[in-house]
Amino acid sequence: MTIKKSTLTISSLLSFSAIIAGLALFNSCKHKQAYQPYKLTGDVIVDGKNLVQLKCTRCHSLVPVDALPKDVWLNHTLVNMAPSLHISTYGGSSYFKNDPLDTAGATIAEWTAILDYYKKAAPDTVLPAKKPIPLMNDWAGFTLKKPAPVSYTSFTTMVATNPATHKLYSADAVDEKLNIWDSNLKMDSIAKLPSAAVDVTFGKDSLGHNVGFFSCIGRMAPIDFPNGKVVKVNLDAKVVNNDQTYIASDLPRPVGTAVGDFNKDGLQDIVVCGQGKFKGGVYLLKQNKDHTYDQQTIYDKPGAAQALAGDFNNDGWTDVMLLTGSGDEGLWLLLNDKNGGFTTRNLLHFPPVYGSSSFQLVDMDHDGKLDLVLTCGYNYRDSRILKPYHGLYIFTNTGNWNFKQRWFYPINGCTKAIAADFDGDGDIDIATIAFFADMKNTPAEEFIYFEQSKPFDFKPHAPPISQYGHWMCMEMTDLNNDGQPDLVLGNYADGFMFQDGFKPNWDKHLPLVVLENHTKK
C-alpha cells in the first residue's frame, strides 16, 4: 500500500470515507460523564502528551508516539480515530449521533493540539527490527510432503486434526468446503459449510458421535456484517454434509470456540470469540437438556482473537482465558463466578498496533507454572507497515497468572505459534508462521522453527518453503504415526497483500503442505 505524504487538515476529516474507515483503535469507549475541557498550555509536547494520555487510554493501552511513522499517524491512524473522539465528519458520525459527549471526546482545539503533537513528535520512519540471531536456512530435521495440486487457487483458512481419531481436516474460503485428508495427503470434500471455517473444536455428542464445532466466520474481511455461525458437524455420519446443526447464527465474525461445562450441569457449553470489527464480543452458548443453546454475552467488546477453557484458579469451576487482538488489546482472565457469570481480570495490556494473534499456555521453564507463548502480528488494519514489535514473545508466570516478559524474537506479521518438544530432548521448541511477513525482503520468516538448546536459548531455523505457499494457519499432527509431532501449514494463496510492488511467487494450487518431523535426537 502506498502511503502518500501530506498534511492532515480538518477538512480532510469531513469525508464519508473517514466514517467508513474508522475506529480500529478507539472502538470500545463507554465512559459517559460530563465533559471537562482540557486547559491548553500552548506547549505542543506537553499538551499532546497530556491529551493523548487523557483521551486515548480511556479505550485502550497507550500507543507510543514512536510506534508508527509520522505519515501513517497523520494520514491513516488519526483519520480513523477522529469519529471516536467525536470530531465532526460528513453528516455527523452515525456511530455517535445518539451518544452524549464523553470524556473520550475532544474539542476542535484539543484535536488540533493532538495533530500538532504528532507532527512534531512522531518519527519520520520506524526502523525495522534486527533479528538477534540470524535465520538458519536449513530443514532442521523436517522433510517436506506435498499433496497433488488442485486446479483452483487455494484459500485454506483452517487445518485441524481431531485428537480422538487423528483425522486431518481443512477448509477453504472460496468454495466453503470441509475437506478430509488421508495419510498420503489425498483429499476428499465431505461437506459444504455456510461460510469459511477458520477454527474447530472437536468433541463428542450425547450419542457418542465424533463432532466438530466449526467457527464459520461469515465475511473474511473485517467488517460489521453479523452472518457468522457456529456449526456442529457429525463427523461420523455416512453423509457428513447432511448432518449439520447451527448452534448459533448471526454472529460477528466468529474466529474460535472453547468448550467446557461452565455451570456443572453435565452438559458441554461453548464459548465463542466474535471478533467483529467495531461491534463484537465473547459469547457463552449454554447447552440445555434438549441440546439447544441459550446465548449470553460474557465480554462485550470486539477484537477477541482466541479463547481457552480451563480451571485457572483451581476452584473446581471452568474459567476462560481470552486474548484480544484489536481495540482494548491484551490477555484477560474471565473467572467463573459460580452463578452463571464471569468476573474479568486483565493480565496483560498491549497497544492496539501489536495485533495479538495467538497464545499458548505451556511450562517453558519447568517450574510447574504455565507460561505464556504469544504472537503479535495481525497487520491489515489502518497502519499496514512492518512493525519492529511484531513477533514471538515468551512471558513467564511469576505466580497467580502474573506475567513477566522473558524473551522476544522479532517476526514481521507473526500469526501463530505452536510450542512442543519437537525433537524429543525434554525442552520446549516453538514453530511459528507469519502471514504478514516481510515477503519482499525476508520471505523465510513465513515459517520459523525455534529449536531450544538450553533454557531460553533458541536456534531459529527457516526451512526453504516460502515458495510453496502463504501460510494463514498451522496445526500439529502425527501424520505418519511415528510418535513425533509433524506440522501442517495451510496456504491462503491470494489476497491480503500489503507491500507495494510485491508479486507472489508461491504455488497457488497447493491447499497445504506437511513438514514431517525427523528431528528426534
Rounded to whole angstroms, what are the CA distances from 69 to 3, 54, 130, 325, 380?
11, 22, 18, 21, 16
**Whether residues 89 and 155 fall in one domain:** no
84 in the same domain as 183: no
Residues 22, 81 contacting (CB under 8 angstroms): yes
Give per-residue pLDDT as tens, 393-447.
Answer: 999 999 999 999 999 999 999 999 999 999 999 999 999 999 999 999 999 999 9
Domain boundary among 68, 88, 121: 121
Domain count, the chain: 2
Residue with cell string 489502518? 382
- How far, in Å, CA of 494 to CA of 504, rounded? 8
| Same domain, yes or no: 387 and 488 | yes
Split at pLDDT 50, 70, 90, the class of 32 is very low
Final residue of a domain: which of 121, 154, 175?
Answer: 121
Residues 252-261 have pLDDT tens digits of: 999 999 999 9
Domain that holds residue 331: 142-517
pLDDT greater at residue 281 or residue 86: 281
Residue 243: predicted pLDDT: 92
DSSP for 6-30?
A: ----GGGGSSHHHHHH--SSS----
Q: Give 467's DSSP letter.
A: G
Q: Could you read off the pLDDT of 105-154 as tens digits, one per residue?
A: 788 999 999 999 999 999 999 999 999 999 999 999 999 999 999 999 99
CA distances from 492 to 82, 216, 371, 395, 470 (A): 34, 16, 30, 30, 6
Quick one: 92 and 158 in the same domain?
no
What amino acid occupies position 401?
W
Averaging pLDDT over each range in 51-55, 93-97, 373-377, which range is the top one?
373-377
pLDDT digits (tens, 9 = 90+) for 163-221: 999 999 999 999 999 999 999 999 999 999 999 999 999 999 888 999 999 999 999 98
Whether residues 325 and 202 fall in one domain: yes
Looking at the structure, do residues 355 and 493 belong to the same domain, yes or no?
A: yes
pTM of structure:
0.90
